[in-house]
Structure 1
Amino acid sequence: MSEDSPVSGGRDRSGRSRPGRVRTLLLALAVSAAGLAAATPARAADDTPGVVSRAAVVDVPGAEGATAAQRERALLDYWTPERVRRATGEKKAPAPAVDRADPRLAAAGTHSTAVGKLVFEHANGKPDHCTATAVDSDSEILVLTAAHCLHEGPGGDWTKNVVFIPAREGGSEPFGRFTAWNVATSALWSSGAKPDWEHDYGLVITNDNAKGETVFDAAGGYQIVPDARTGEQVSVMGYSGPPYDGEHQEFCQDLIEPTVPPMNMWQVECPNMTPGSSGSPWLLDYDYDTGSGYIGGLNSISDTRGYMASPRFDARTGEFVSMVERIAAARP
């Protein structure tokens, strides 16, 4: 798919299946500079759906005491090309070769305009990045990513200076940048004694780009659906960090399998999805020619053998998106 062809569209359910491989998921695919943390499934004491959100924190030179427009300009200036590159982390080795024997994998359709690099800083000022995806929603200003890219979990802090750069490719930014106006995670992620990886999803409510376009108008987007199932094929695109450079979308395709109990998540085998690909969309019914598809999950946690897990999107996920849409309606 070309960079000037935003994505969206319908799907045709395939119903394919295969026997599942079972792997225990051990490690969090934390953002590139934060490292990997133990992934122990946890359930919040209050099992009702909800949203935890806050106005996006802008903590850069020139932001204090400034107007909203001045803060946004200061944030965009702060993320220089060099700072964006540093957010990926240090390169350690040449990227391993990716098997592209399937001729479709060499096509432009393995690169989505709606998928982008999400740069931010931790509360201590350490730069980092994840992957995020523009959402086809009523507000046209939502971007989906992993919750751990926005909030550290129970007892932790929010990240700050969040900017979404759709379709970034080797320094090129064809659709501009979208600063965060508000950030939100599921209440089940940020409460309880431990991070609840089964609800590791969050949304960024974005400001418009320099041209005055919403993120959906500029880059396209995908609807979020709650009906992924075992044996269904997903296409995953993400800005993997070391040993990858974090400046290009890596591509993986596999069939969904369940994780082992007590963790109730989906998993795929995607060894090229390394730290930095957190938040990468799991696209169902992805069409190489049109770029259409639906988001049925996202990169959350992984093990040491290249197995990646996603929360199971369900009715609770849909309620979360609807709640955030109501928050988005208040954006100036």
Structure 2
Amino acid sequence: MLDAWYAEFADPTTIALARQQPSISQTTAEVVIGKDDRIQVNNTTAYPWRTICSLIMTARDGSRWIGTGWLVGPRTVITAGHCVYMHRHGGWAKSIEVIPGRNGSRRPYGSCIATSFRSVKGWTRKKRRSHDYGAIILPRNCAYGNRLGYFGYANLSHFSLLGLTVNLSGYPGDKPRGTQWWHARRIKWVTSRRLVYNIDTAGGQSGAPVWRLRNGKRHVVGIHTNGSASGNSATRIAKPVFKNIKKWKHV
């Protein structure tokens, strides 16, 4: 399966080629920049890796896609907007299977099927890259966050973000299926709604957390969405994003 980025931004020919030749998918969605420095997370039952979720999305038209999300509350998983709402495939996803701490064929915490989602009008109506974020609301009997913990998140200033070393971990489609991979580098460019970095990623990592580690505490500052040879990028947790995550956290 391909990253949900293709559901939104790729033409049918590119999608067909990417399905036939996986290497093509890494040149358009998310990118390994230079040498591939990603490191596999072997113990996905340790914090914070267990709070990072492999996603399998089923769109309204029946097509299936992959992505990444992260727990931010008892039943709330944050991800990219294009993972929950696919304009060219019927809008809101029909369902998303959420698999926290997945490690290949092993699912240490099982999985849950979600059918309740959130995003913002800037994404669902206007398809703005700057508003590419959303949330998955898990069923009440699937409060993973109470068992596994969850990430903090922060709205940092431009100057605090520029040059900050950040971490990114998720489920890339170019590695063995269902394995989690991590990498870290500095943020090289900051706008009012975007973060750009040279962290290596690949299709399947849309929605992954981009977080800082300081004094033993982890705060997500961006939601990974896409990339190019000049840099991969995230939706910045700016003030409006922070407010929406706070609202969705305890739905």
TM-score, length-scaled by structure 2: 0.78
**Structure 1 pair 317–35 and aligned structure 2 pair: CA distance change class (3 A):** closer
What is residue 238 of structure 1 aligned with on the other side? 170
**Structure 1 pair 275–106 and aligned structure 2 pair: CA distance change class (3 A):** closer
- Following superposition, the deviation at residue 90 of structure 1 comes to 6.5
Contact kept? 2:7, 2:89, Cα under 8 Å? no
**Matches of 1:106 and 1:124 in 2, distance apart?**
33
Residues 180-259 of structure 1: pairs in structure 2 closer than 5 A = 180-192=114-126, 195-208=127-140, 212=141, 214-227=143-156, 229-241=161-173, 243-258=174-189
Contact kept? 1:234, 1:285, Cα under 8 Å? yes
**Matches of 2:143 and 2:99 in 1, distance apart?**
13
Counterpart secondary structure, 2:70: strand
Unmatched runs of 5 consecutive residues or more in structure 2: 12-18, 27-31
Question: Aligned AA for 2:176?
Answer: D
Task: Give deviations 1:190-222, integer Å, cap 9, x for gaps.
Answer: 123xx21111110111015xxx55110232210
What is residue 324 of structure 1 aligned with on the other side? 248
**Structure 1 pair 264–283 and aligned structure 2 pair: CA distance change class (3 A):** closer
Counterpart secondary structure, 2:236: coil
Question: Aligned AA for 1:276?
Answer: G
Structure with more strand by fraction: 2
What is residue 221 of structure 2 aligned with on the other side? 296
Question: Aligned AA for 1:270?
Answer: I
**Structure 1 pair 204–286 and aligned structure 2 pair: CA distance change class (3 A):** farther
Structure 1 runs of 4+ aligned residues shifted over 6 Å read 104-107
What is residue 266 of structure 1 aligned with on the other side? 195
Question: Aligned AA for 2:204?
Answer: G
- TM-align CA RMSD: 3.4
Pairs aligned (count): 230
Contact kept? 1:175, 1:219, Cα under 8 Å? no
Answer with 1 or 2: which has the greater Rg. 1
1:279 aligns with 2:216: no
| Deviates further, 226-235 or 149-158 | 149-158
Of residues 17, 32, 37 in structure 2, which corresponds to 1:99? Answer: 37
Contact kept? 1:300, 1:311, Cα under 8 Å? yes
**Matches of 1:92 and 1:30 in 2, distance apart?**
11
Counterpart secondary structure, 1:170: coil
